[in-house]
Amino acid sequence: MKLLRYGPLGKEKPGIIDEEGNIRSLSDIVSDISGATLSSDNLKRLRALDLSSLPIVDANVRLGACVGNVGKFLCIGLNYADHAAESGMTIPDEPEVFTKATSAISGPNDDIIKPRNSDKLDWEVELAIVIGKHTSYVSEEDAHKYIAGYCVCNDVSERTFQLEKGSQWDKGKGCDTFGPIGPWLVTSDEIKYPNNLSMWLEVNGKTFQNGNTKTMVFKPEYIVSYLSQFMSLQPGDIISTGTPPGVGLGQNPPLYLNPGDKIKLGIEGLGNQQQVVISHS
């Protein structure tokens, strides 16, 4: 299933994509696409619906973040060997973990706001995991049972904030609009091989990232298991799993985003995003 949220910011409603690509309203079925919706029983109930009986939603409606009321937004850094190389950093022995503020979450096609004092605004197309049930000390072999689905994430980054203002990456990762997710949460039964998905990102019509999840250092199941050794994961939590090479930091010379720039990105089977960079008001 392809689940989504649509409508004005802060007033999003739940929806689902039918076989013809139409958005169908789930407002009479569930209150939101959030942690409470993602239990196996609820997903089973949604799969059994006759989608043709649900109201069609205007295709031009704004799409919100595909998961609402996110508790944790966790990220894995340097998870592609070739991206680590372009960043001038060594491949970590264990996953490099940081967080994005949940206030960074935005819709897949919402504008990206360039923060005040920003001079190195960057892009990162990433596969994000959405947790489906309480997860604690799970094995790598069983981790797939705790994944509700996957979505596209643009891990927008401000490199000066991230790398030149102390050792805490979070400062350069959690600004408002730095976490577009969606357009859909695609349930894991539709993504048979999350470790082999093509992914791409272009800026102003030029392709900069053209990779595949098969080059991840740490795979999704390992990441879920690893994180669950240090904290419980809750339904609706998001884990963004790293980016392939081609970010602005890795260009020669480095290339960063400015107001007016247009970004398009996508992952095989998970849909596409597009954003425009604007100045902070």
- Higher pLDDT: 165 or 55? It is 55
Determine whether 53 is exposed, middle or buried from the number of CB atoms within 10 Å of its CB (0-12, 13-18, 19+).
Answer: exposed
Q: Look-up: residue for tokens 């408002």? A: 176
Helix/strand/coil (H, E, C) string of 103-169?
A: HHEECCCCCEEECCCCCCEECCEEEEEEECCCECCCCCCCHHHHEEEEEEEECCEEHHHHHCCCCCH
pLDDT at position 85 is 77
Looking at the fold, whether 38 and 169 belong to one and the same domain comes out as no
Looking at the fold, whether 26 and 83 belong to one and the same domain comes out as no
Q: What type of residue sits at position 56?
A: I
Looking at the fold, whether 152 and 267 belong to one and the same domain comes out as yes
Q: 88 lies in which domain range?
A: 73-279
Confidence class for position 78, pLDDT limits 50, 70, 90: confident
Whether 174 is in a domain gets the answer: yes
Indicate whether 144 pLDDT > 80: yes
- Six-digit token string for 3: 């689940």
Average pLDDT over residues 26-35: 97
Whether 160 is in a domain gets the answer: yes
For the four alpha carbons of 244, 200, 174 and 150, in that order, the dihedral sign comes to: negative
Note the helical H segments in the chain: 40-47, 81-86, 159-163, 220-227
Indicate whether 168 pLDDT > 90: no
How far is the C-alpha of 126 from the C-alpha of 240, rounded, in Å? Answer: 6
Number of domains into which the chain is organized? 2
pTM for this prediction = 0.96
Average pLDDT over residues 67-81: 95
- Higher pLDDT: 238 or 84? It is 238
Looking at the fold, whether 129 and 79 belong to one and the same domain comes out as yes
How far is the C-alpha of 137 from the C-alpha of 231, rounded, in Å? Answer: 8
Looking at the fold, whether 132 and 106 belong to one and the same domain comes out as yes
Question: What's the chain's average pLDDT?
Answer: 96
Looking at the fold, whether 50 and 90 belong to one and the same domain comes out as no
Backbone phi, psi, residue 216, to 5°? -60, 145
Say which CATH number the domain at 100 has. 3.90.850.10
How far is the C-alpha of 117 from the C-alpha of 120, rounded, in Å? Answer: 9
How far is the C-alpha of 12 from the C-alpha of 189, rounded, in Å? Answer: 25
pLDDT at position 33 is 98
Task: Give the least confident one: 83-87, 114-118, 266-270.
Answer: 83-87
Looking at the fold, whether 222 and 93 belong to one and the same domain comes out as yes
Indicate whether 281 pLDDT > 90: no
Looking at the fold, whether 47 and 85 belong to one and the same domain comes out as no
Confidence class for position 29, pLDDT limits 50, 70, 90: very high
Whether 208 is in a domain gets the answer: yes
The answer to whether residues 99 and 209 touch, using CB atoms and an 8 Å cutoff, is: no
Looking at the fold, whether 18 and 144 belong to one and the same domain comes out as no
Backbone phi, psi, residue 17, to 5°? -95, 130
Q: What type of residue sits at position 125?
A: V
CA-based nearest residue to 174, from 247, 251, 113, 248? 113
Whether 63 is in a domain gets the answer: no
Looking at the fold, whether 137 and 231 belong to one and the same domain comes out as yes
Whether 164 is in a domain gets the answer: yes
Looking at the fold, whether 164 and 42 belong to one and the same domain comes out as no
pLDDT at position 82 is 77
- Six-digit token string for 106: 């935005």
Whether 248 is in a domain gets the answer: yes
Whether 66 is in a domain gets the answer: no
Whether 235 is in a domain gets the answer: yes
Confidence class for position 89, pLDDT limits 50, 70, 90: confident
Indicate whether 5 pLDDT > 90: yes
CA-based nearest residue to 123, from 244, 272, 11, 25? 244
Apex 273 CA angle, 268 and 276, nearest 5: 150
Looking at the fold, whether 24 and 123 belong to one and the same domain comes out as no
